[in-house]
Structure 1
């Protein structure tokens, strides 16, 4: 007597990987942007001479983690496109959105963070520490990219969750 099982996998492991990576990445971004950096700013660390070095160290590490997360998300979306687990309408949009998230991570890692560090470094120990005016433009660019990243990541997370359900 043989029994035939009709049990099939309903989700791909790549969907779980993309969901988990996006959730951790966006959660870490929110903690960094809304908890860590404001607390450093309120505590007065931004007016101290070592703030640029500390900020660069924090963002250098976080940017590298973001690059890995963006690569995992893009890889997962591309792998999902080769399976039958996702709908055709999802495929092109998800690849574009995950590519945009990688572009944001690359811009943060290789343009904004080094530029902010170079702008904020104190080269003369005898001058008072003040925030350069160009730093405000860089902060606006950073917050704009963060808003774009969170909006795109939230959209992609919603799409992945709906595909899994």
Structure 2
């Protein structure tokens, strides 16, 4: 039997296995749902011409209001899962806590600052004006949103990679044993 120099990230107990699964599934769901919203749903609404409709702002705000609450739930589960993994396994990465808190902060900023500001800027207060112009501050808010999304995707991708790493170690161990 050879001694491996790699750190073993496999869960140590049944509780750790449950949190390990919760963390992995939550990260995969959260990042997948964000990609769907950012790369499929919003571009489809834009291409269909819905952004030029006066009802787009309330509809968009409603979509993001619901999605932001789901993101906050996912962020809470990720932070909790990382803290549990950190407590139960001394070999877990220290920066995983920082990455999970960074993801939580991105979700909080989107939920309580960017989405309400975009909704407020996009509300058409002059009912007699037929053309809809994009407000000046909207582009800055879009840039802030995409910056936070990139931070979330990078941090989430790294965390997901770290949670999937034990599966690769286990698969390698099984294939070398046969």
What is the TM-score with the length of structure 1 in the denominator? 0.89
Q: 1:132 aligns with which of 131, 135, 145?
A: 135
Q: 2:156 aligns with which of 120, 129, 153?
A: 153
Q: 2:86 aligns with which of 81, 86, 89?
A: 81
Q: In the TM superposition, what whole-angstrom CA distance separates every residue of 1:114-152 from its partner, at most 9, and x where no partner exists?
A: 000000000111112111121111111111111111111
CA–CA distance in structure 1, aligned partners of residues 146 and 67 of structure 2? 15
Name the structure 2 match of 1:95: 97
Alignment of 1:9-20 (within 5 A): 12-20=17-25
Name the structure 2 match of 1:45: 50
How far residue 163 of structure 1 moved from its aligned partner, in angstroms, is 3.7
**Structure 1 stretches (4+) deviating beyond 6 angstroms?**
none
Q: Identify which range, 75-84 or 25-34, moves more after superposition.
A: 75-84
Q: In the TM superposition, what whole-angstrom CA distance separates every residue of 1:63-91 from its partner, at most 9, and x where no partner exists?
A: 0000000000000111111113x515x1x
Kept after mapping to 2: 8 A contact 1:12/1:80: no
Kept after mapping to 2: 8 A contact 1:59/1:113: yes
Structure 2 residues not aligned, in runs of 5+: 1-11, 170-178
How far residue 9 of structure 1 moved from its aligned partner, in angstroms, is 5.2
Name the structure 2 match of 1:162: 165
Kept after mapping to 2: 8 A contact 1:45/1:51: yes
How many aligned residue pairs are there? 155
Aligned residues: CA RMSD: 1.5
C-alpha spacing 1:157/1:75, structure 2 compared with 1 (3 Å): same
Name the structure 1 match of 2:9: none
CA–CA distance in structure 2, aligned partners of residues 149 and 69 of structure 1? 12
